[in-house]
């Protein structure tokens, strides 16, 4: 025998809370972050070899229509080139450390403050927006 209707439904279930709005996925940012983790501890020679591999991958990707506009691949290649230049200008036995990289730390500070990182002139001109005013 069952209990009467009001007694059966006395326990209430908690109402699920709405999830906090998420930041949109940025494939370029993901690619740079993954690449920096991979480059941590590499010396200039290892970075140069990885840069050549990234350039080869970019050439291969350009031959396939579905990979030609891959933001993440372009961002990874640009980051390898930047780190290669960074280590070329540094002392001979220097290894890459993202914790000591000014560019990485500047981006982290901007994200902590809730702002987007200021874009470079080159990025704005590629997008056809011209100089900031």
pLDDT at 132 over 80: no
pTM of the predicted structure, to 2 decimals: 0.65
At CA 10, angle to CA 8 and CA 14, rounded to 5? 125
Residue, of 45 and 69, whose pLDDT is higher: 45
pLDDT in tens, 85-120: 999 988 888 999 988 888 888 877 777 777 655 555
Name the band, by pLDDT with cuts 50, 70 and 90, for residue 133. very low
Residue written as token pair 């990234």: 54
Give every CB contact of residue 41 below 8 A, 6+ residues apart in sequence.
95, 96, 97
φ, ψ for residue 73, nearest 5 deg: -65, -40
pLDDT in tens, 22-40: 778 889 999 999 999 999 9
């Amino acid at each position: 025998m069952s209990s009467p209707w009001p007694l059966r439904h006395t326990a209430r279930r908690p109402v699920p809370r709405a999830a906090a709005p998420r930041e949109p996925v940025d494939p370029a940012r993901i690619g740079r972050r993954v690449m920096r983790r991979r480059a941590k501890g590499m010396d200039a020679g290892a970075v140069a070899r990885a840069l050549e591999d990234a350039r080869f991958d970019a050439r291969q990707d350009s031959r396939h229509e579905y990979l030609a506009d891959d933001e993440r691949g372009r961002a990874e290649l640009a980051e390898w080139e930047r780190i290669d230049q960074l280590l070329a200008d540094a002392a001979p036995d220097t290894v890459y450390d993202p914790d000591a990289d000014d560019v990485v730390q500047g981006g982290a500070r901007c994200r902590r403050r809730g702002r987007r990182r200021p874009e470079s002139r080159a990025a704005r001109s590629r997008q056809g927006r011209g100089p900031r005013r």
